[in-house]
Amino acid sequence: MPELKVLFSREQIAARVAELGRQISQDFAGEPVVLLGVLKGAAIFLSDLSRHIELDSTFDFIAVSTYGDQTQSSGEVKLLKDVDQSMEGKNVILVEDILDTGLTMCYLKKMILAHHPKAFRIAALLDKKSRRLQPIQADYTGFEIPDVFVVGYGMDHAEHYRNLPDICVVP
């Protein structure tokens, strides 16, 4: 087991996630939202974020695969699980763990926009801006990070470490 270094503590994460929830609550005041989580990495972020959103909210989930067991992207996006309900006319907030190259988000954005939602926003806990290959930005970002590989708070390395309460760097 490699030695992991804490990048963001559970307290830092909690404070930032609460802020994002307040921001979303203000931006969509009086309107219902669909929190659309990208499995599996965003599961913990979505569950915490949702409890700071004071709006009529529903959940949906999609699953894609970009990374195999490695820390390098294959560059390919494959849809493993589609939405359960149409996003037509809905205020959709796509909840993702990390915006990295942007390939996944571009693919998902195109897919969701084809449903003709009322609004489409991206909430990404982490943003590796320097790695971007596709021009896409999050509307709500937790933290910007450099080009390091992180695990914890839902994020994995070969499916492990998702349950770590802090966000850690794998050396």
155 binds, among ligand IMP, Mg ion, none (CB under 5 to 8 A by kind): ligand IMP
Catalytic status, residue 82:
no
| Closest distance to ligand IMP from the beta carbon of 155 (Å) | 4
Binding footprint of ligand IMP on the chain (CB under 6 A): 41, 66-67, 73, 96-105, 149-151, 155
| Closest distance to ligand IMP from the beta carbon of 161 (Å) | 9
Helix H, strand E, coil C: the string for 9-74 is CHHHHHHHHHHHHHHHHHHCCCCCEEEEEEECCCHHHHHHHHCCCCCCEEEEEEEEEEECCCCCEE
- Which among 87, 79, 72, 78 has a CA at the least distance from the CA of 35? 87
> Does residue number 37 form part of the binding site for Mg ion (CB under 5 A)?
no
40 preceded by a cis bond (ω within 30 of 0): yes
Query: Helix 43-50 crosses helix 10-27 at what angle (to 10 degrees)?
Result: 60
> Does residue number 41 form part of the binding site for Mg ion (CB under 5 A)?
yes
> Does residue number 142 form part of the binding site for Mg ion (CB under 5 A)?
no
| Closest distance to ligand IMP from the beta carbon of 52 (Å) | 21
Catalytic residue among 97, 100, 156, 166: 100
| Closest distance to ligand IMP from the beta carbon of 108 (Å) | 9
> Does residue number 152 form part of the binding site for Mg ion (CB under 5 A)?
no
β-pair partners for 72: none
Instruction: Using the minimum distance from each CB to ligand IMP, give the nearer residue, 42 or 55.
Output: 42
Burial of 104 (0-12, 13-18, 19+ CB in 10 A): buried
Tokens of 150: 């992180």
Query: Which 64-123 residues touch Mg ion, going by CB under 5 A?
Result: 97
149 binds, among Mg ion, ligand IMP, none (CB under 5 to 8 A by kind): ligand IMP
Q: Pairing state of beta strands 167-169 and 5-8?
A: antiparallel
Q: Contact positions toward Mg ion, by CB under 5 A? A: 41, 97
Active-site positions? 100
